[in-house]
Amino acid sequence: MVIKSLLPGLVLLLVLTSAAKGANENHLARLLETRQCANCNLRGADLSGAYLRQANLRGADLRGANLNRADLRGAFLTQADLSDADLRNANLSGANLTSAGLDRAQLANALLDTFTVIDDKWRLVQVLVTEGVGDQDLTGADLSHANLDEVDFRQSDLTGANLAGASFEAANLSSSILTEANLEGADLFLASLQDAGISQASLREGNLQATDLRQADLTASDLQAANLSLAYLAGANLSQANLEDANLDSAILPTANLSATNLTDANLFLADLSQANLSGATLAGTELSGANLTGSNLSLGSLDGAELEAVISQGSDLSGANFSGANLVSIDLRESNLSGIDLSAAEMQDANLSNTNLTNANLQGTDLRSANLRGADLTNADLQGARLSGADLTNANLTNANLQGADLTEASLLGTTLEDITFSDRTSLCGTTMPDGEIHGC
């Protein structure tokens, strides 16, 4: 019975909370009764369709307020904070919005007239979100922190525009020009930038999650700490771009150009990099576990300390790359070109290196336990101190290889070419299957 008697009060409390969402209830009541509420706390208030003609809202906190269809004719909104507010279809004829904060406010179909006092920047935003039809000349425009969700910018010229902190969720920017634009912290979630020119632009800490960037030109752009998870970057040009600390988790990058790109400490977990060009790229400390590098080119790349566990990289070109200390456990590098590669101290247990070209490779101290090296060419390879216990080197070529201090315990050298190899008294051949099939003693 006690609970039953409390229910009406609880329901009323929930209604008031839902209606005001953080607004001061007394302030809200005063506004609706007198239309006088300077410096009031109306944050998140539901004022949709409200009659607020000539209301005094100077300095009011209207962040996130719902003013959709509100009548604000002649209202005084000087220095009011309308960030994230919904002003769609609101009547702002003759309203004074001098120094009002309109960051990320929704302005589609808001009614402005010649008597409305508002910064030219926001007047432009209102036109774009209401009438935008693409092919606009917005060179150097200031649209920073504007809400431009779902706007059509196809083939528009935004060269050098200030778009920092702007929201472009699901916007269409395909074939647009964004060269040298400032997009730092911009939200491009689900936006289309297919075939867009974004070279030398700044997208630091931007949100490009699930963004369509197919064939986009991002040459020399700054994407440090940007979120590109699930982004579609097939055929995109990211050469010389800065992707340090960027999140490319599950990104789709087949045939992308990432040559000379900085991917230091980036996250490429489960990314598709098949046929991608990563020549000369820096991937130090990069997370590549589970990534698909089939047919990719990582020649002369630097991957020291990178995580490549369970990576698929069949038929790739990694010649001259630096994988020193990298985690390559269970990596699949079948039939790849690893000539001159530095794999010193790398973790490569259970790796598949069958029919791989490892000529002149540096494998000092590399952990290759139980690795598959069948048919691999290790001519002139440096395997000093390498751990090869249980490895399969059947029919491999070890001509002139250096095996001083290497551990080949129970490894298979059946049919292996061992001409001019270098052993030492520290080389372990205990239980090793020799080229003629004989088991070496311990």
Per-residue pLDDT, averaged over 52-72, amounts to: 98
* pLDDT above 70: residue 323: yes
Close Cβ partners of 306 (under 8 Å, ≥ 6 residues apart): 283, 284, 285, 286, 287, 288, 323, 326, 327
Burial class (CB in 10 A: 0-12, 13-18, 19+), 380: middle
The pLDDT-based confidence of 175 (bands split at 50, 70, 90) is very high
The C-alpha angle 337, 422, 301, rounded to 5 degrees, equals 25
Write out the two tokens for 331: 């990596």
Query: How far from chain centre, in Å, is Cα 59?
Result: 38
Query: How far from chain centre, in Å, is Cα 211?
Result: 9
Cα–Cα distances (Å) from 264 to 255, 287, 334, in that order, read: 20, 9, 26
Distance between CA 105 and CA 83 in Å, rounded? 5
Write out the two tokens for 181: 């634009």
* pLDDT above 50: residue 6: no
Query: How far from chain centre, in Å, is Cα 434?
Result: 49
The pLDDT-based confidence of 4 (bands split at 50, 70, 90) is very low
| 242 neighbors 219 (Cβ within 8 angstroms) | no
Query: How far from chain centre, in Å, is Cα 84?
Result: 25
Nearest-10 crossing angle of helices 2-20, 25-34: 60
Distance between CA 25 and CA 345 in Å, rounded? 66
Closest CA relative to residue 307, chosen from 264, 276, 256: 264
Distance between CA 428 and CA 400 in Å, rounded? 18
Distance between CA 34 and CA 53 in Å, rounded? 11
Q: Which CATH superfamily is domain 13-131 in?
A: E3 ubiquitin-protein ligase SopA (2.160.20.80)
Q: What integer pLDDT is reported at residue 21 of this predicted model?
A: 53
Mean of the per-residue pLDDT values of the chain: 93
Per-residue pLDDT, averaged over 273-302, amounts to: 91
Close Cβ partners of 312 (under 8 Å, ≥ 6 residues apart): 291, 292, 293, 294, 331, 332
The C-alpha angle 88, 90, 95, rounded to 5 degrees, equals 130
Note the pLDDT tens digit of each residue in 415-440: 999 999 999 999 999 999 999 999 99
Q: Lowest-pLDDT range, 109-113, 300-304, 371-375?
A: 300-304
Per-residue pLDDT, averaged over 57-65, amounts to: 98
Distance between CA 136 and CA 154 in Å, rounded? 8
Helix, strand, or coil (residue 362): strand
Q: What percent of the chain has pLDDT over 70?
A: 95
Note the pLDDT tens digit of each residue in 79-131: 999 999 999 999 999 999 999 999 999 999 999 999 999 999 999 999 999 99
Decide which of 22 and 9 is more confident.
22
* pLDDT above 70: residue 3: no
Q: What integer pLDDT is reported at residue 311 of this predicted model?
A: 81
Q: Lowest-pLDDT range, 36-40, 178-182, 319-323?
A: 319-323
Residues 327-361: b if buried by 16+ CB within 10 A, e if exposed: bbbbbbbbbbbbbbbbbbbbbbbbbbbbbbbbbbb
Write out the two tokens for 111: 């009614």
* pLDDT above 50: residue 301: yes
Distance between CA 248 and CA 230 in Å, rounded? 7
Beta bridge partners of 162: 142, 182
Note the pLDDT tens digit of each residue in 13-55: 433 444 445 889 999 999 999 999 999 999 999 999 999 999 9
* pLDDT above 80: residue 246: yes
The pLDDT-based confidence of 133 (bands split at 50, 70, 90) is confident
* pLDDT above 90: residue 188: yes
Q: What integer pLDDT is reported at residue 413 of this predicted model?
A: 98
Distance between CA 296 and CA 313 in Å, rounded? 7
Q: What integer pLDDT is reported at residue 397 of this predicted model?
A: 98
Q: What integer pLDDT is reported at residue 313 of this predicted model?
A: 83
Helix-, strand-, coil-residue percentages of the chain, each rounded to 5:
10, 20, 75
| 356 neighbors 333 (Cβ within 8 angstroms) | yes
Q: What integer pLDDT is reported at residue 114 of this predicted model?
A: 97
| 293 neighbors 274 (Cβ within 8 angstroms) | yes
Q: Where are the domains of the chain?
A: 13-131
